[in-house]
């Protein structure tokens, strides 16, 4: 597969002596390329070993051809791919003691919008928390879950199926006062709270383990022969704890590579669930927290 036509931009920057890759890639319903695939190909071309567990990937922006941003970590700016957006890092004012990301959108030569955010602000997207249910709004089929003191998140009830509870208060599927594991799926945007899901995902290059669906799913982009191979390989690996989603990248992987990654992801999943029960903070392979224990 030729990846180049689907990569619109690729930059490497140094942030605190750590290399950071910025990619703009095509992720449409027809042509779909994952950042993990680009990084794996780059490492392979350089003769290096790619360790997906040592990478932390954040989606910064999503574009559509209808000139509307669906989601963004840093900004909410209306634009199309034909318009330009410039992001730079610089001190805004001497004496503030910190730097900021400046993002400006241009239509031709006219600046249409500008957004500022402190570099020190960290993303919580993908983090897993023990959340406490504070309110259930049946009229909108959602619950509001506190993941820290004063931090309330939006949990659609359909995303609370097969939840992992650390404390259960009643016999109903979800009750006020319940404590459960939730993963941040969308960060707070203006007046909208962050969204969370009780479906926890542990992603690798070839597989995704999901606690919300205990089934085996295989990418429809794979050839029938490959789907049959992977079905036979993984059908007996499903447990009461998680289901497995096989990614398109698995087509080039051997049985040994897939099973090795499954073992790694299974350990991550079990460590997270056990850590939640014992209130233990867990770390990624790169040393960054994945499970957060907060005081309400």
| pLDDT digits 0-9 by tens, 128-175 | 888 899 999 989 999 999 988 888 999 999 999 889 998 898 888 899
Distance (Å, whole) CA 81 – CA 77: 12
Which two tokens mark 293?
């224990």
Can you state the angle between helices 224-234 and 255-277, rounded to 10 degrees? Answer: 50
pLDDT band at 117; cut points 50, 70, 90:
low
Which two tokens mark 295?
């005081």
Contact between 114 and 102 (Cβ < 8 Å): yes
Q: What angle do CA 229, 51, 243 make, to 5 degrees?
A: 45
Cα 79 to the center of its chain, rounded Å: 23
Distance (Å, whole) CA 130 – CA 277: 10
pLDDT in tens, 187-220: 887 788 999 999 999 988 899 999 988 899 999 8
Residue 285: pLDDT above 50?
Answer: no
Give pTM, 2 decimals: 0.57
């Amino acid at each position: 597969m030729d990846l180049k036509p689907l990569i619109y931009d690729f930059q490497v920057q140094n942030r605190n002596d750590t290399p950071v890759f910025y990619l703009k890639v095509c992720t449409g319903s027809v042509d779909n390329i994952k950042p993990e695939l680009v990084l794996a190909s780059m490492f392979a071309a350089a003769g290096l070993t790619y360790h997906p567990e040592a990478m932390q990937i954040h989606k910064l922006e999503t574009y559509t051809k209808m000139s509307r941003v669906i989601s963004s970590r840093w900004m909410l700016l209306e634009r199309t791919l034909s318009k330009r957006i410039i992001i730079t890092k610089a001190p805004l004012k001497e004496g503030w003691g910190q730097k900021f990301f400046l993002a400006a959108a241009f239509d031709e030569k006219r600046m249409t919008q500008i957004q500022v955010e402190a570099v020190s602000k960290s993303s919580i997207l993908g983090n897993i928390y023990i959340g406490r249910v504070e309110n259930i709004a049946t009229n909108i089929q959602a619950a509001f879950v506190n993941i820290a003191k004063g931090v309330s998140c939006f949990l659609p009830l359909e995303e609370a199926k097969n939840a992992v509870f650390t404390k259960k208060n009643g016999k109903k599927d979800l009750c006020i006062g319940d404590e459960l594991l939730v993963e941040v799926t969308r960060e707070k945007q203006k007046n909208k709270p962050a969204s969370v899901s009780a479906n926890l995902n542990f992603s690798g290059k070839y597989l995704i383990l999901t606690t919300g669906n205990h089934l085996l799913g295989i990418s429809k982009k794979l050839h029938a022969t490959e789907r049959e191979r992977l079905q036979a390989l993984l059908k007996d690996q499903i447990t009461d704890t998680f289901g497995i989603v096989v990614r398109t990248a698995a087509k080039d992987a051997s049985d040994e590579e897939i099973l090795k990654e499954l073992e790694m992801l299974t350990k991550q999943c079990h460590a997270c669930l056990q850590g939640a029960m014992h209130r233990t903070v867990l770390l990624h392979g790169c040393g960054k927290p994945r499970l957060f224990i907060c005081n309400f």
